A = this chain, B = another copy of it.
């Protein structure tokens, strides 16, 4: 099961009632954070999930509203007792921006490891037991969408285990996908597990124009969190100029990619009431929700 919390839903600047867009993904007690704009540590505190378990941060791009909260967050992470490692993934130039922003937090009680991901191809890495893909998108600066996947092993076949005389004390280990070796035999998960089953897929995509490469990568996602900077279709010209999306464009992508649920986020500060455009957007993709501060979801395996 993945716990997901959209910390805020704003773009450009934090507002009195709208934190900047950022996401937490919790799995097995560890947290992955996506983006860290100014003030993001405030809703993070409200989750009650604790800071210390944040081991990985993925940064979509290096515009202030997605990264300006980094130094304050890093200091609070240090004050939380963290003393191991924080891995930060981001687009090219991540290291330089990190170096600049952390001029006010020169000594942290944990290590920070920075990886710059390619801006021109999909990249894949493992973090906290999840598979993360970074996907180049189309913004005014190098920007990455992220797809987070949790695989699900095949079903454990008791009959096959019995037929192969696999000792029952090893079943749990094999069921978790680990091989077992004792003095006499070696047992592998393949001996008792059926074909892999559908896992969990989460996609996070901001800031960008809608592009085909995204659709392939978000296909069949359980949850698609996507920017909708503008609600009004009349703003298409501005969306193209600023390289952002309309609600309707996000909804079209959700429909085309056959995702289960769409949550819109990263609203322009000028967009006072995003819900105004919800009904129309649901006409394109029915299972659409308007993001809000601290919006949570639990993503579980099917059946």
The answer, yes or no, to whether A103 is at the interface (CB within 8 Å) is yes
Q: Please give, as numbers and ranges, the residues of chain B lying within 8 Å of A96 by CB-CB distance.
A: 103
Q: Please give, as numbers and ranges, the residues of chain B lying within 8 Å of A79 by CB-CB distance.
A: 12-13
User: Would you give the shortest CB distance from A77 to chain B, in whole angstroms?
Assistant: 11
Q: Are A104 and B104 in contact (CB under 8 A)?
A: no
Q: Please give, as numbers and ranges, the residues of chain B lying within 8 Å of A102 by CB-CB distance.
A: 100
Q: Nearest CB to that of A13 among chain B residues?
A: B76
Mark each residue of chain A from 58 to 71: 1 if its CB lies under 8 Å from any CB of chain B, else 0: 00001111011101
User: Would you give the shortest CB distance from A16 to chain B, in whole angstroms?
Assistant: 5
* Stretch from A27-35, A41-49, A236-244 at the B interface: A41-49
Q: Nearest CB to that of A40 among chain B residues?
A: B38
Among A45, A65, A100, A103: residue with most chain B CB under 10 A:
A103
| A:92-107 near B, CB below 8 Å | 96-97, 99-105
The answer, yes or no, to whether A14 is at the interface (CB within 8 Å) is yes
The answer, yes or no, to whether A231 is at the interface (CB within 8 Å) is no
Quickly give the copy total for this chain. Answer: 2
The answer, yes or no, to whether A291 is at the interface (CB within 8 Å) is no
In the assembly, what is the distance between CA of A186 and CA of B16, in Å? 54
Q: Please give, as numbers and ranges, the residues of chain B lying within 8 Å of A68 by CB-CB distance.
A: 38, 71-72, 104
Q: Are B64 and A104 in contact (CB under 8 A)?
A: yes
Q: Please give, as numbers and ranges, the residues of chain B lying within 8 Å of A65 by CB-CB distance.
A: 72
The answer, yes or no, to whether A39 is at the interface (CB within 8 Å) is yes
Q: Please give, as numbers and ranges, the residues of chain B lying within 8 Å of A72 by CB-CB distance.
A: 13-14, 37-38, 64-65, 68
In the assembly, what is the distance between CA of A67 and CA of B69, in Å? 12
Q: Nearest CB to that of A43 among chain B residues?
A: B16
User: Would you give the shortest CB distance from A102 to chain B, in whole angstroms?
Assistant: 8
Q: Are A42 and B41 in contact (CB under 8 A)?
A: no
In the assembly, what is the distance between CA of A146 and CA of B175, in Å? 66
The answer, yes or no, to whether A299 is at the interface (CB within 8 Å) is no
In the assembly, what is the distance between CA of A104 and CA of B67, in Å? 8
Interface residues of chain A, those whose CB is within 8 Å of chain B, are: 12-16, 37-39, 41-43, 45-46, 62-65, 67-69, 71-72, 75-76, 79, 96-97, 99-105
- Besides A13-B72, A101-B101, A101-B103, 17 other A-B contacts (C-beta < 8 A): A13-B75, A13-B79, A15-B45, A16-B42, A16-B45, A37-B72, A38-B39, A38-B68, A62-B104, A64-B71, A64-B75, A64-B105, A67-B104, A96-B103, A97-B103, A100-B100, A100-B103
A-B contact pairs, 20 of them (CB 8 A): A13-B72, A13-B76, A13-B79, A14-B42, A16-B42, A16-B43, A38-B38, A38-B69, A38-B72, A64-B71, A64-B72, A64-B75, A64-B104, A65-B72, A67-B104, A96-B103, A97-B104, A99-B103, A100-B100, A100-B101
